[in-house]
Amino acid sequence: MNPQRHPITFCGAGPGDPELITVKGQKALQQAGLVLYAGSLVPEAVLSWAPSGAERVSSASMTLEQIVATMAQAFRQGRRVVRLHTGDPSLYGALFEQMAELRKLQIPCRVIPGVTAAFAAAAATGIEYTLPERTQTLILTRMAGRTPVPEAESLESLARHQASMAIYLSVAMVDQVAAVLARTYGPRAGCLVAYRVSQPEEKMVMTTVAGLAAEVKASGIHRHALIIAGPAVERPQDQMGLRSNLYSAGFSHAYRSVY
Same domain, 122 and 206: yes
* Amino acid 241: pLDDT: 53
243 domain residue, yes or no:
no
Number of domains in the chain: 2
Q: Give pLDDT, residue 250.
A: 54
DSSP output for the chain = -PPP--PEEEEE-BSS-GGGS-HHHHHHHHT-SEEEE-TTTS-GGGGGGS-TTSEEEE-TT--HHHHHHHHHHHHHTT--EEEEESB-TTSSS-HHHHHHHHHHTT--EEEE----HHHHHHHHHT--SSBTTTB--EEEEE--SSS---GGG-HHHHHTT--EEEEES-GGGHHHHHHHHHHHT-TTSEEEEEESTTSTT-EEEEEETTTHHHHHHHHT--SSEEEEESGGGS-HHHHTT---STT-TT--BTTB---
Q: Among 112, 140, 169, where does a domain finish?
A: 112
- pLDDT at site 237: 46
Q: What are phi and psi of 34, to 5 degrees?
A: -135, 130
pLDDT of residue 4: 83
| Rg of the chain on CA atoms, in Å | 21
Helices 95-104 and 64-76 pack at an angle, to 10 degrees, of 50
CATH number at residue 64: 3.40.1010.10
Nearest Cα residue to 8 out of 61, 54, 76, 63:
76
Q: Are residues 139 and 39 in the same domain?
A: no
Q: Within a domain: residue 101?
A: yes
Residue 128 lies in a domain: yes
Residues 158 and 200 in one domain: yes
Same domain? For 125 and 103 the reply is: no
Q: State phi, psi for 52 to the nearest 5 degrees.
A: -60, -30
β-bridge partners, 68: none
Q: How many CB atoms lie within 10 A of CB 217?
A: 12
- Contact between residue 204 and residue 93 where contact means Cβ atoms under 8 Å apart: no
Which pLDDT belongs to residue 245? 52
134 shares a domain with 100: no
Task: Choose one of 112, 127, 150: the last residue of a domain.
Answer: 112
> What is the rounded distance in angstroms from the CA atom of residue 72 to the CA atom of residue 68?
6
Q: Would 257 be classed as within a structural domain?
A: no
Phi first, then psi, for residue 81 (nearest 5°) are: -105, 130
Domain of residue 70 covers 8-112
Q: Which of 112, 140, 162 is the last residue of a domain?
A: 112
76 lies in some domain: yes
CA geometry: angle at 59 spanning 46 and 6, to 5°? Answer: 75
Rounded Cα gap, residues 234 and 257, in angstroms? 34
Do 139 and 210 lie in one domain? The reply is yes
Question: pTM value?
Answer: 0.89
- Whether 99 and 128 share a structural domain: no
For each of the chain's 259 residues, which pLDDT tens digit applies? Answer: 567 899 999 999 999 999 999 999 999 999 999 999 998 899 999 999 999 999 999 999 999 999 999 999 999 999 999 999 999 999 999 999 999 999 999 999 999 999 999 999 999 999 999 998 889 999 999 999 888 899 999 999 999 999 999 999 999 999 999 999 999 999 999 999 999 999 999 999 999 999 999 999 999 999 999 999 999 998 554 544 555 555 555 556 555 566 5
Residue 2 lies in a domain: no
